Chain A
Amino acid sequence: MNRTTLAQTVAMLVMLWAGFRWLPVDTEEPDDVLGRGDIQRMLFVDNELWRGRLNPLQVQSQARSMARGLGPVSRSRNIELLKCARSVKRAACPGDLIQIKGMPGNDGYILQYYLYPLRTTSRYSENGSRIDDPTHPNAMWIITGGLQPKFWETGRSIARREQGDACSVDG
């Protein structure tokens, strides 16, 4: 076997593998055969989104499908945080300062993204903020997560408290 034949064989293997991800999956659960990813599931979700049938920020089951297709990326966490940000943005006035307490650092950053242009304050760090952090004197709103002593044990709901009169919203 000469070098040309060997090179052509390797190239064919590369192309076969590149085409492998398109083979249909005939199981209920996405089948990550030989690590090919889950292209069929992604195509379905994309197609539904493209036609406007699904709202990826509200339909959690489809979001879970997408998360599976995309690997271990939790979109449900983003959805929860976006809901919280929406509820605050609906009621807040421009210029209101929002304090984030008791939330993992990463969730705080994502929340800040969704809340912008409202300004936020928190103890932003890898360890997150604590529920008993001192309240900022200028904070008009306080978003409180349920961060527990163990690093990622976070409460399933996010509470929202308006200064003075408190209220809460399920996450």
Chain B
Amino acid sequence: MDGELNLTPLLSAIGACLALGHCVDRFVFGLPGAGFVERFGRALILGLGLTGLLSLALDQAHILVGPASLGLAMAGTALLAVIGGRWRPVLAPQSIAPTRTPVQKMATVLMCVLAAVSLALVVRSAFVRPTFQFDALTRWMFKTRVLVTEGTLRGDISVDPGLWFTHQRYPPLAPHVSALPSWAMRAFDERHEFNTEDDRLDSAVYAWFAVALVCVLFGGVARRAGMLAGSFGAAWTASLPLIAYLAWPPPGSGAFSALADVPLAAFSLAAAFAVLEALEQRRPRAWLEACLLLGCVALTKNEGLPMVIACGLGIAVAGGRSRWRPALLTVGGAAVIYAALWGVFSMSFEGLDENYWERLNASAVSSGFTRIPMIVQAFFAGMLDFRQWNVTWLAAIMLVAFGWNRRRRMAARLMITIVCAQLLAYGFAYLVTKWTSARAEFVIREEGLDDPLTVLFGLTLGRLLLHVAPIAIALAAMTAPFEAPTEKGPQEATPG
């Protein structure tokens, strides 16, 4: 392996995702008033998500996934979006409040530069590093490799005794998306085979989820609270150690480490903004967009399933009684997408991951009560860990507290509910888990600990917090009172 990497297939793959996402965004969903950065981010996240969904749908329909079949599916979807866009209602644009003083303008530019440099480093790191994390190699990239070689993750290949999928039930949207550069490469060269000694071509796709995440956050915040707040949120998120440069704690979660945590965070944030748009009644098709993105959330990681329920709760809390029906429809739609594309099929596999549904009983919960102090302490310690989070969680809580007022009440209710519900779900999982491992047993013996949970915190808590951190940052940037409110400031629609 040398340091040179042919970027053409990777950039072609990203370009194809952008084109598909742009068609769907412009002609189906439409977001009047969105600037270039937000439209880029939305096109990217929608394109990556739709590509994964189409690839999964092809596989579900027993059509071999490959450059021809997937290319046709993407082109067909884009065409349908363009045709369907003729009936899209015309909406009034929502203007972005401009920065007012030279100091604000300079701060905005500086923070945008910081965000761009940070993201550029992430993308570049993904180009030059082979996959190195255990989970990335064995859970996500291994499935990508099998998919690229066999064209499917179903049928005989899924029960081949010579292949050991570490967690076969894990939803495979991310491996389907990351196979795209290989498909592009094969479109140029039919003999191309996946090279595990140089798997950078496919693993580099994961970094683009971080790009989409930051662009969506920037646009969503800027339209509501101005460019200054948008650029602040973007620079903050793009500089998060666990996204930008820190692949610790093991198994790590840097955006360049080919793990599905950053994709999950990106889909979750985009879904939260779509739900907010729907609640604010800015766009009639925002519910559909939220449903689609929540489907992607559920298909990215197991942790996406509670995220879907958390979003449903958020809709109910932020929208009041009148929103129970759209909440149920949105969550139900996402559940149908999940079940149709993976959930039902995955039931046929032996469950190696922990079955939390089985643990939903009184005895399991009551036996876990003694763990509550340990869990609460671990969450606080994790959030205050400067190495992983800088001052993120403390600052987010303070900024939301300073800025709490009626103007952002709906956004605050929605996003706080999502973050709290998701963290409660993780807390509950820690409460009832029976997890242990040979390594945990060894550590417990050597260090005189009394619960394998202490080892599990170190392995997982940073990544779990990452799933909701961008939503918390978006809310903090939106609500923070950086400027005194004015008559012409961005308005928030009242719930209808």
Contact = CB atoms under 8 A, between A and B. Distances in A.
A127 B132 contact: no
A127 B441 CA distance: 11
A97 interface: yes
Contacts of B1: 55, 57
Interface stretch (B12-20, B30-38, B71-79, B136-144): B136-144
Given A17-B390, A35-B386, A46-B125, A116 B145 contact: yes
Contact of B482 (A8, A48, A73): A8
A148 to B, nearest CB: 12
B239 interface: yes
Interface string B149-173: 1000000000011111010000000
Contact of A116 (B146, B388, B392, B395): B146
A15 B114 contact: yes
Smallest CB-CB A-B distances: 5 pairs: A119-B162, A71-B248, A35-B387, A52-B3, A18-B239
Interface stretch (B371-379, B396-404, B411-419): B396-404
Contact of A113 (B129, B141, B395): B141
B395 A14 contact: yes
Nearest to A39: B245
Nearest to B193: A117
The number of chain A residues touching the other chain, given as a range, is 35 or more
A25 interface: no
Interface of A: 3-4, 6-8, 10-11, 13-15, 17-19, 21, 32, 34-37, 39, 42-43, 46, 48-57, 66, 70-73, 75, 78, 82, 86, 97, 105-106, 108-110, 112-114, 116-117, 119-122, 124, 126-128, 150-152
B442 interface: yes
Contact of B161 (A7, A113, A117, A121): A121
B481 interface: yes
Given A4-B482, A42-B125, A116-B142, A18 B235 contact: yes
A70 B132 contact: yes
**Which of A6, A55, A75, A152 gathers the greatest number of chain B CB atoms within 10 Å?**
A6
A17 B403 CA distance: 22
B3 A71 contact: no
Given A35-B386, A52-B3, A109-B164, A14 B391 contact: yes
Contact of A73 (B128, B133, B145, B164): B133
